[in-house]
Structure 1
């Protein structure tokens, strides 16, 4: 059993304070998906553990993490949170999923959430509406195996690594049968991400852990999005990769997110991303509307998970009964 990775103070100040972070997990085709979550400071440096919560309303994410627990979290923006400093922090590790957290753990989460997301609405109607949202949370705990730290939020400058050594670059992947070119309207996509300033790319590293890299989009043509990337962080050749563009307001009251999967091509001269799928999400910049929406979505997600067998399937996966 490996000892816990105890990351440095500068990384801890970021990990405990960022309001929104990027989370990446791997896919069966050796790609990666990257999305955003609000971890509300869930971390234990002495135990070498970070984490976040989700719900049964996102079963594909949970199923993929249960089947392949290699995950990564990128603490990449200081907006509206409590983190100090300007470092870009990447934590990689092995996830475990707590599908049935204890009442004590849920109560601790509620207290942590109010610091980041504001006071919880209470009263008979609110308690009914938010019961599933608060009481049916799923915890994803990540035993950290490596923390990489850059002094710049764009991940430029000298990298410092705590824990496992940084691996060599992964080899190029075989192109998909349907081809590597874009499969979505690039002009429409460029408009959709135009107001989403935080952009990140994720790929599967040579040791199986996702690598999340901040990128800038400098334009597009028929072949894909043109990327400006930190030197040395994207491996040469072609591979499957995930892309995230997102924005959020204080306490996440109002946010936008677009997640892509696609094909990344890196040469000595350029980096180009050809998106194959595109999904968007937006939350209203109104506390009451957001709270009602969260409550109703949690109720529907739990009902659907129980009705279609998702909840039972995830429980079997968590017990090691892969089916």
Structure 2
């Protein structure tokens, strides 16, 4: 696949190389978007026009969806505990490839790159055994960038600067799901779960098929959903599937808390309502040692499960086949 070459703005490059935690969005077969947080530890090659992040075989659905539809986006939305100094909001959109079997050299380079962000890697016979799968069975997602958009403020207010193809018009509204658009999880419970999570983002499929990730504020809720605000010119009017992320983290990503939600977004008559349909969360203890042990054990468990249920072989087959024809489906999911 021939990749576009972009001349990255310096502000984008600083955020890409320096942000500790980034929001990543990928698309679902029905035309929705899922947005989650990742720690890319500065993995980027400006000359090659590529940014990267890693995941594990313990999250096969994410990998399957990216292999089916490689359009992904990354939002550099907070400077907290990172190295970039400015306050620009950066949205990077592109197409991903998945490296399911990275070389030993690449894995070693990842460990070296991660230490400024995540701290020194624990060493010793017990730690090496515990963290073997966590360090050695990583999956790289490499994103060839096609568009970079920057705003002068982390709230994405103000004039934007677009590098690459011009920003498309708003997408048309989508067909409602068969099971309806009303909330399927208790809204009041979700509001309590995200109350202490300061970083909130919304993602949906844009008119050109790339995910759009926007910073949002939650201003209230009732039985119909969460009330959201965002820069009005960036919210597509009408109804559509959308993903929502709320998260928090401390230095070196200790004490990570995250809640990922899918649901239905309605923008009408100056009001933005998000009806949640699914909700999943995690919270890591604010202890580096406890978190490291948990990461090691979860990686071992995830790899064994992937080998036992055939996930590894299935993902390799998907990677060999290339993106499915379904990746070109219309944004309404048809």
Pairs aligned (count): 323
Residues 1:174 and 2:160 aligned together: no
Q: Which residue of 2 aligns with 1:283?
A: 284
Contact residue 227 and residue 273 of structure 1 kept, 8 A:
yes
CA–CA distance in structure 1, aligned partners of residues 76 and 235 of structure 2: 18
CA–CA distance in structure 2, aligned partners of residues 322 and 31 of structure 1: 17
CA–CA distance in structure 1, aligned partners of residues 154 and 3 of structure 2: 30
> What is the CA RMSD across the aligned residues, in angstroms?
1.0
Residues 1:259 and 2:260 aligned together: yes
Contact residue 45 and residue 51 of structure 2 kept, 8 A:
yes
Unaligned runs of 5+ in 2: 325-334
How far is the alpha carbon of 1:321 from its aligned partner? Answer: 6.7
**Residues 1:202 and 1:296: Cα distance change in structure 2 (over 3 Å):** same
How far is the alpha carbon of 1:155 from its aligned partner? Answer: 0.3
TM-score for the superposition, normalised by structure 2: 0.95
TM-score for the superposition, normalised by structure 1: 0.98
Deviating beyond 3 angstroms after TM superposition, the runs of 4 or more aligned structure 1 residues are: none
CA–CA distance in structure 2, aligned partners of residues 322 and 197 of structure 1: 35
How far is the alpha carbon of 1:3 from its aligned partner? Answer: 3.5
CA–CA distance in structure 1, aligned partners of residues 188 and 207 of structure 2: 33
Instruction: Tell me the secondary structure at the aligned position of residue 232 of structure 1.
Output: helix
CA–CA distance in structure 2, aligned partners of residues 176 and 268 of structure 1: 22
**Residues 1:306 and 1:73: Cα distance change in structure 2 (over 3 Å):** same
Q: Which residue of 2 aligns with 1:133?
A: 134
How far is the alpha carbon of 1:165 from its aligned partner? Answer: 1.3
Structure 1 residues 101-112: aligned runs within 5 Å: 101-112=102-113
Unaligned runs of 5+ in 1: none
Contact residue 257 and residue 283 of structure 2 kept, 8 A:
yes
Q: Which residue of 1 aligns with 2:207?
A: 206
CA–CA distance in structure 2, aligned partners of residues 236 and 3 of structure 1: 30
Instruction: Tell me the secondary structure at the aligned position of residue 319 of structure 1.
Output: helix
Contact residue 156 and residue 231 of structure 1 kept, 8 A:
no
Structure 1 residues 1-323: aligned runs within 5 Å: 1-320=2-321
Instruction: Tell me the secondary structure at the aligned position of residue 128 of structure 1.
Output: helix
CA–CA distance in structure 2, aligned partners of residues 100 and 38 of structure 1: 20
Instruction: Tell me the secondary structure at the aligned position of residue 50 of structure 1.
Output: strand
CA–CA distance in structure 1, aligned partners of residues 304 and 3 of structure 2: 40
Contact residue 183 and residue 276 of structure 2 kept, 8 A:
yes
CA–CA distance in structure 2, aligned partners of residues 3 and 56 of structure 1: 29
